[in-house]
Structure 1
Amino acid sequence: MISMIRVDDRLIHGQVAVMWSKALEINRILVVSDEIAKNDIQISALMMAAPSGVKASVVPLEKGIKILNDPRSEKLRILVIVNDPKYVKGLTDSLTEKAVVNVANYGRIGGSLNHKSKLADSVYLTEQEKELFHGVIESGTEIIHQPLPSDARILLKDLLGGK
């Protein structure tokens, strides 16, 4: 079962490895990224950052969809992590299971903030990304902003404002 899909530029890091993995009681982390799945150095770094006792994998989108739709995944508690909203759209369009999406740390790494709007201290989105998230929300997926398990859950649609 998918415990959460998290959008996070940093992928597996302290908040995920220590706080979220315990709060969600996960036993599997699945990083979904076509680009990172091709980079052995990044894969190695992510595997080292995974908490002990939690199996971690880095896979491209299509393989991630197959894994998550496999009936054997229902017995697991999986945290899916992506670093690009396009993967949220790809996953939510293709998964048989609905999962909560948490946009927590996104948009500050890799590039200028000039063409992005600040939605929260740790979330910056382009207009295209806002439209993508609006569409995913309209399709019935719950998207929240909750950086830490102890933080209040805020609906992303409230941060995005009216469309």
Structure 2
Amino acid sequence: MAITAVRIDGRLLHGQVANMWTNVVGATRIMVIDNEVAVSPVAKAGIKLAKPAGVNLSILNEERAANNIVAGRYDSQKVFILVKRPAVLLKLIADGVPIKVVNVGNMSQSDETKPLTSSINLVPQDVADFNELHKLGVKLTAQMVPSDPLLDLMDLLKKF
């Protein structure tokens, strides 16, 4: 399977991802991987509204996504994976999904988070998860939109 891109974005699929990122990465399928969204008809309906024309969409829980990818269900497609948090990617990798590069876009602010950039807000577990992904050889970048400079997330975390 051709995983063309993996992005962490707390908003999952929305206008910016649908209109900019999907074209830039050349995706033929967007795969939203989130355990809560996968069982919420309302959340799934909102995501489906943002899907660009001509692009396939899967909204799956972590286990089903990993099983489908490892089984080769998307081997003929260019898949763009979207998740909310880095912990999901660690689970996917543990389940055999080959993830080499991850772009971090937007991780929303909450009472528990601390800002890394104007659009990336982290809890301590996110930092630990990013460090683990890095140890596994995953290249981690930060870029909100394709026209922004591509930053090395690990360099940013050194100052965190």
Length-normalised TM-score, structure 1 = 0.90
- State yes or no: 1:135 paired with 2:142: no
Q: Cα–Cα, structure 1 residues 66 and 149, in superposed 2: closer, same or farther, change >3 Å?
A: same
Q: Cα–Cα, structure 1 residues 95 and 162, in superposed 2: closer, same or farther, change >3 Å?
A: farther
Residues of 2 paired with 1:162 and 1:121: CA distance? 14
* Alpha-carbon distance, 1:59 to partner: 0.4
Q: Cα–Cα, structure 1 residues 96 and 87, in superposed 2: closer, same or farther, change >3 Å?
A: closer
Q: How many residues align?
A: 159
SS at match of 1:89: helix
Q: What is aligned with 1:118?
A: 115
Q: What is aligned with 1:144?
A: 141
Q: What is aligned with 1:55?
A: 56
Indicate the RMSD between aligned Cα atoms, in angstroms: 1.6
Q: What is aligned with 1:37?
A: 38
List runs of 5+ in structure 2 lacking aligned partners.
none
SS at match of 1:44: helix
* Alpha-carbon distance, 1:94 to partner: 2.4
Residues of 1 paired with 2:78 and 2:102: CA distance? 15
Q: How does 1:1-163 map to 2 (within 5 A)?
A: 1-108=2-109, 111-112=110-111, 115-161=112-158
Runs of 4+ more than 3 Å apart? none
Residue type at the aligned position of 2:127: K
> Which range moved further: 64-73 or 122-131?
64-73
Residue type at the aligned position of 2:148: D
Residues of 1 paired with 2:75 and 2:142: CA distance? 25
Q: Percent identity?
A: 29
Residues of 1 paired with 2:7 and 2:28: CA distance? 15
* Alpha-carbon distance, 1:95 to partner: 3.1
SS at match of 1:5: strand
SS at match of 1:80: strand
